[in-house]
Amino acid sequence: MIQRSGLRWNLSHGLMWWLPIWGEHLLAGGIAGVSVDLILFPLDTIKTRLQSPQGFTKAGGFCGIYSGVPSTAIGSFPNAAAFFITYEYVKYFLRPYSPSYLTPVTHMMASSAAELVACLIRVPSEVVKQRAQVSPSVPTFQVFSSILREEGVHGLYRGYKSTVLREIPFSLVQFPVWEYLKALWARKQDHAVNSWQSAVCGAFAGGFAAAVTTPLDVAKTRIMLAKTGSKIATGKVLPALYEIWRKQGVPGLFAGVFPRMAAISLGGFIFLGTYDQTRSLLL
């Protein structure tokens, strides 16, 4: 009886410890994700239409700029929450085994693991969103139903590999740069950065990472938008990149780079700043 009571106390004590530590990351990440995705949705639509195979005008131009927003609204919170709870957990798990000079490697491993988990939620939401963005006259639910009818659940995960291959290099650049800039700023001012300073660091880190990973983003967009049964629809990234380069050259590989940089710089400012601010309020 004593052992059972002790076990019960340990379990409840462990749960009470877990909730504030990991619950704050889940809630802060989810709120940050919803904020940035909904605020910057028009820029994302413009970027997707610039990257689409039919071209900006035929994909809708500036009409129906919020087409696909229900998919983002539904998927944004769980996607961002899954990312940050995994990111913080892996950092926490690896910290005792990582000397200080390997801190950037820890951040890289944590962000890569977080992307693998988050993409399980992000990709179906992204597939529906992007197809709705280039078909502004078609309701989002109809796009979703059409994918399930023609391709099944597998169709919702078309582009999973290309998304992961885009997101992991992006995170390998963004998060170590973000953490480094925060640490540098903190050393300069002799105390930890506040939320707006973290947001500025996030904007620089996000813009830089967005620029260097744009070709992978273009390939991911083409794979998700490709007609069922086409060569690009198989989801292979290198053939998709080669096809884009063959038809449009280097400009095609960097289609939408400026809206992408603008969206992700602003997104990094809002996303990482909101994340830090929400965490500080919860704490």
Question: Along the 283 residues of the chain, how does pLDDT read in single tens digits?
Answer: 334 333 333 433 443 344 445 566 667 767 777 777 888 899 889 999 999 888 899 988 899 999 999 998 888 888 888 888 888 888 888 887 777 777 778 888 888 898 899 999 999 999 999 999 999 889 999 999 999 999 899 889 988 888 888 888 888 888 788 888 988 999 988 888 887 888 888 888 888 899 999 999 999 989 988 888 888 888 888 888 999 999 999 999 999 899 889 888 887 777 766 766 766 776 6
Residue 91: per-residue pLDDT:
86
Q: Are residues 179 and 251 in the same domain?
A: yes
Cα distances (angstroms) measured from residue 49 to each of 64, 126, 145, 179: 11, 14, 22, 32
Query: Last residue of a domain, which of 125, 157, 189?
Result: 157
Phi/psi for 236 (5° steps) reads -85, 125
Return the number of other C-beta atoms located less than 10 Å from residue 13's C-beta. 10
Q: Would you say 201 and 248 are in contact if contact means Cβ atoms under 8 Å apart?
A: no
Q: Does residue 177 sit in the same domain as residue 65?
A: no
- Write the Ramachandran bin of 98: left for phi over 0, alpha for psi from -120 to 50, otherwise beta: beta
Q: Return the structure tokens found at 122.
A: 């992000």
Indicate if 193 and 143 belong to the same structural domain: no
What is the pLDDT, as a whole number, of residue 272? 66
Question: Residue 108: which CATH number?
Answer: 1.50.40.10
Residue reference for tokens 């530590």 = 21
- Looking at the structure, do residues 229 and 135 belong to the same domain, yes or no? no
Q: Does 228 reside within a domain?
A: yes
- Are 71 and 140 found together in one domain? yes
Q: Looking at the structure, do residues 92 and 201 belong to the same domain, yes or no? A: no
Tell me the whole-structure pTM to 2 decimals: 0.71
Asked if residue 78 belongs to a domain, the reply is yes
**In terms of domains, do 142 and 39 share one?**
yes
Q: Annotate 78-107 with DSSP letters as a single string.
A: HHHHHHHHHHHHHHHHHGGG--GGGHHHHH
Dihedral of the alpha carbons of 180, 160, 144, 244, in degrees to the nearest 10: 90
**What pLDDT does residue 115 have?**
86
Domain assignment present for 1: no
Rounded to 5 degrees, φ, ψ at 228 are -55, 130
Strand ranges (E), 117-221? none
Side chain identity at residue 145, one-letter code: S
Give the structural domain span for 196: 173-282
Residue 29 within a domain = yes
Dihedrals phi, psi of 255, to nearest 5 degrees: -60, 130
Q: Do 124 and 100 belong together in one domain?
A: yes
The pLDDT of residue 23: 63
Candidates 93, 122, 127; CA nearest to 110 is: 93
Q: Are residues 136 and 201 in the same domain?
A: no
According to the model, what pLDDT value does residue 128 have?
94
pLDDT at 129: 94
Q: Does residue 89 sit in the same domain as residue 177?
A: no
| Residue that finishes a domain, picked among 157, 184, 212 | 157
The CA R_g of the chain, rounded to the nearest whole Å, is 20
pLDDT on residue 25:
63
189 within a domain of the structure (yes/no): yes
Exposed/middle/buried for 250, CB within 10 Å: 0-12, 13-18, 19+? exposed
Residue 19 maps to a domain: no
Domain count, the chain: 2
CB proximity list for 42: less than 8 A, separation 6 or greater: 65, 66
- d(CA 20, CA 132) in angstroms, rounded, equals 38
Any domain includes 6: no
